[in-house]
């Protein structure tokens, strides 16, 4: 056994507790997702107008929004690697979770008070762009995305640790994580929609910070309180024992001394940069189940991101017929459509939550999680394809109602609005599976192959952030190639969803039976 294999097998054997922890501990850790997602929902619903308030140029704004996938690509593998090997007396995952929560609080303060700090540094209140405020906002925004990635990876890894060797409990833990993400979404969108929240914090309104800015600060105060409360309770309630690397046996040491080969020489070079070496080794030595999981996940997120990025824009532009860059009437109609899209996101989050709670029941009903993932990806493809139908019906209704001359008085027919909102709601079903099943399968596949949970989840995250970067950069030019609007990107997303469904049903291996998982965890590495 070489050094790399020894380290991997030791991680596999020691990262999983001998007996699974209670359901209450699993729920306590999973509930942190509500605090994380509360902040994400505020980002999606409030920060874009705030960016415009500060006067950030469009080309800068696109770079700022890329920090999410970039930080996810770098931070999660790094944090996952080190959390697999952390020997702190507080445990392996808890120090990273605590540090992430502290960084979120710092980032939210910088974002909320960017305008006030900018004024202190010399920004004029009555002019834009506010250069100093933009710098403070950008720093806070990057810290926030880094902190969120520091939280999510160790939280999911800790859930895998608490689930022990039970693949069913691993799926259940990720289902709870998905459920609390839905709870955070609902709370975040509701807080963002309540325009008088700042009345609870009168001090938030200043000369540099208007009503909208004060409301943003107030929302973030609630976000910090929720996240810190849930994190402190979980870290106090869950008893994570100190981890230490198991000693090497004499046989292993003798075997390593005899392996004086080029392979050992290469391995010793890798040890000098253990993170890069382990990450490259994890990518190079991945077994077929993990490779296929990454392929299906990548296609799945290529399907999701066009809709997640432009869903409210689709409602304002294609469904309601408004234009964010048009005259006052066009902008008013566009904003009405965007608010209708926010309602759709609320419905989506509610369905996401209920579906997450029923995931095990759904999996049993269709014959396993692999088949469930394939079926819901077909549902995703269907919904994305139906956006074309809804858009055509909305266009026809406006043409029949008199065209752009009376655009301000022409709203989509009730049937069109119901159809659009129904798509938002129905998409909550595949989104629940996307938020849970891939992560559960990654934990199961890594436990059977002997890989570290944190590093394996970091590798899986690459299959999420790379498509996000591609879509963020390429969606606009691709839509322009076919006449603009959001429909070309949605059609391409529907094709990707259909392909991911076919691959999930045909080439993605099924997770091993419970007995096989137990067997591998006991004898792995010997």
Give yes or no for a cis peptide into 203 (omega within 30° of 0). no
pLDDT of 270: 35
pLDDT of 309: 75
pLDDT of 464: 82
For 427-453, the pLDDT digits (tens) are 999 999 998 888 888 877 766 544 555
Question: What's CA 405's distance to the chain center, in Å?
Answer: 42
The class that CATH gives domain 22-245 is mainly alpha
* Each residue's pLDDT expressed in tens, for the chain with a length of 526 residues: 444 444 444 444 444 444 445 888 999 999 999 998 888 787 766 666 577 667 766 545 556 666 667 776 777 777 777 777 788 888 888 889 999 999 988 988 888 888 888 888 888 877 777 888 888 888 888 888 888 878 888 888 888 888 876 777 887 888 888 899 889 888 887 777 676 777 777 887 778 777 777 878 888 888 899 999 999 999 999 887 776 666 655 454 444 444 434 433 443 333 334 555 555 555 555 677 788 888 999 999 999 988 887 788 788 888 988 876 667 777 788 778 877 887 888 889 899 889 988 888 888 888 888 899 999 999 999 999 999 999 999 988 887 654 444 444 457 888 999 999 999 999 999 999 998 888 888 877 766 544 555 666 667 777 887 887 777 676 656 656 666 677 888 999 999 999 999 999 998 887 765 433 333 333 333 3
Nearest-angstrom CA–CA distance, 522 and 139: 46
pLDDT of 263: 39
Helix (H), strand (E) counts: the chain: 24, 0
32 CB neighbour count, 10 Å cutoff? 28
Nearest-angstrom CA–CA distance, 121 and 116: 9
Nearest-angstrom CA–CA distance, 6 and 237: 33
Asked whether 435 and 152 are in contact (CB, 8 A), the reply is: no
pLDDT of 513: 58
Q: Shortest CA distance to 496 belongs to which of 485, 486, 504, 507?
A: 504
Give yes or no for a cis peptide into 5 (omega within 30° of 0). no
For 17, the token pair is 């507790």
Nearest-angstrom CA–CA distance, 142 and 413: 42
pLDDT of 8: 41
Crossing angle (nearest 10°) for helices 3-15 and 262-271 = 50
Q: Shortest CA distance to 177 belongs to which of 151, 154, 159, 150?
A: 159
pLDDT of 426: 95
pTM more than 0.75: no
pLDDT of 174: 81
pLDDT of 303: 92
For 382, the token pair is 């269907």
| Cα-based distances in Å from 251 to 2, 169, 522, 525 | 12, 35, 19, 13
Asked whether 16 and 162 are in contact (CB, 8 A), the reply is: no
Domain regions of the chain by residue span? 22-245, 250-279, 286-526
pLDDT of 499: 96
- Report the SS3 class of residue 480: helix
Nearest-angstrom CA–CA distance, 426 and 391: 17
For 6-53, the pLDDT digits (tens) are 444 444 444 444 444 588 899 999 999 999 888 878 776 666 657 766
Question: Given this chain, do its domains 22-245 and 286-526 carry the same CATH topology?
Answer: yes
Q: What's the Rg (C-alpha) of the chain?
A: 24
pLDDT of 13: 41
CATH code 3.40.50.2300 for 286-526: no
Asked whether 332 and 322 are in contact (CB, 8 A), the reply is: yes
């Amino acid at each position: 056994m070489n050094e790399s294999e020894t380290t991997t097998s030791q991680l596999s054997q020691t990262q999983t507790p001998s007996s699974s922890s209670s359901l209450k501990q699993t729920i306590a850790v999973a509930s942190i997702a509500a605090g994380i997602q509360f902040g994400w929902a505020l980002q999606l619903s409030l920060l874009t107008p705030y960016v415009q308030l500060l006067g950030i140029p469009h080309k800068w704004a696109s770079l700022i929004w890329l920090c999410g996938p970039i930080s996810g690509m770098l931070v999660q593998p790094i944090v996952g690697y080190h959390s697999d090997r952390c020997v702190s007396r507080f445990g392996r995952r808890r120090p990273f979770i605590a540090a992430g929560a502290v960084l979120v609080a710092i980032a939210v303060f910088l974002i909320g008070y960017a305008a006030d700090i900018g004024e202190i540094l010399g920004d004029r209140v009555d002019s834009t762009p506010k250069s100093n405020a933009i710098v403070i906002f950008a720093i806070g925004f990057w810290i926030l995305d880094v902190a969120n990635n520091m939280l999510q990876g160790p939280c999911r890894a800790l859930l895998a640790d608490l689930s022990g060797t039970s693949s069913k409990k691993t799926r259940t833990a990720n289902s709870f994580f998905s459920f609390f993400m839905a709870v955070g979404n609902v709370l975040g969108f509701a807080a963002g929609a309540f325009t008088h929240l700042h009345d609870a914090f009168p001090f938030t309104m200043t000369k540099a910070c208007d009503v909208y800015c004060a409301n943003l600060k107030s929302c973030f105060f609630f976000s910090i309180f929720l996240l810190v409360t849930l994190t402190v309770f979980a870290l106090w309630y869950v008893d994570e024992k100190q981890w230490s690397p198991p000693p090497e046996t004499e046989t292993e040491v003798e075997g390593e001394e005899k392996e004086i080969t080029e392979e050992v020489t290469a391995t010793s070079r890798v040890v000098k940069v253990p993170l890069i070496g382990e990450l490259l080794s994890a990518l190079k030595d991945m077994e077929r189940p993990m490779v296929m999981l990454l392929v299906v996940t990548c296609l799945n997120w290529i399907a999701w991101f066009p809709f997640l990025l432009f869903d409210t824009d689709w409602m304002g532009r294609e469904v309601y017929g408004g234009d964010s860059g048009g005259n006052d009437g066009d902008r008013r109609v566009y904003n009405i459509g965007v608010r209708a899209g926010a309602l759709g996101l609320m419905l989506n989050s509610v369905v996401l939550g209920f579906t997450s709670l029923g995931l095990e029941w759904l999996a049993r009903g269709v014959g396993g999680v692999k088949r469930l993932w394939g079926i819901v990806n077909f549902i995703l493809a269907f919904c994305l394809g139906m956006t074309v139908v809804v858009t055509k019906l909305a266009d026809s209704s406006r043409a029949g109602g008199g065209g752009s001359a009376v655009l301000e008085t022409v709203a989509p027919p009730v049937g069109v609005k119901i159809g659009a909102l129904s798509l938002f709601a129905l998409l909550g079903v595949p989104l629940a599976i996307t938020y849970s099943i891939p992560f559960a399968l990654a934990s199961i596949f890594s436990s059977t192959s002997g890989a570290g949970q944190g590093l394996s989840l970091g590798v899986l995250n690459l299959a999420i952030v790379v498509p996000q970067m591609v879509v963020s950069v390429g969606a606009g030019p691709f839509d322009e190639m076919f006449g603009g609007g959001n429909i070309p990107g949605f059609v391409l997303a529907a094709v990707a969803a259909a392909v991911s469904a076919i691959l999930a049903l045909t080439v993605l291996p099924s997770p091993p039976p419970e007995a096989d998982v137990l067997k591998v965890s006991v004898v792995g590495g010997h």
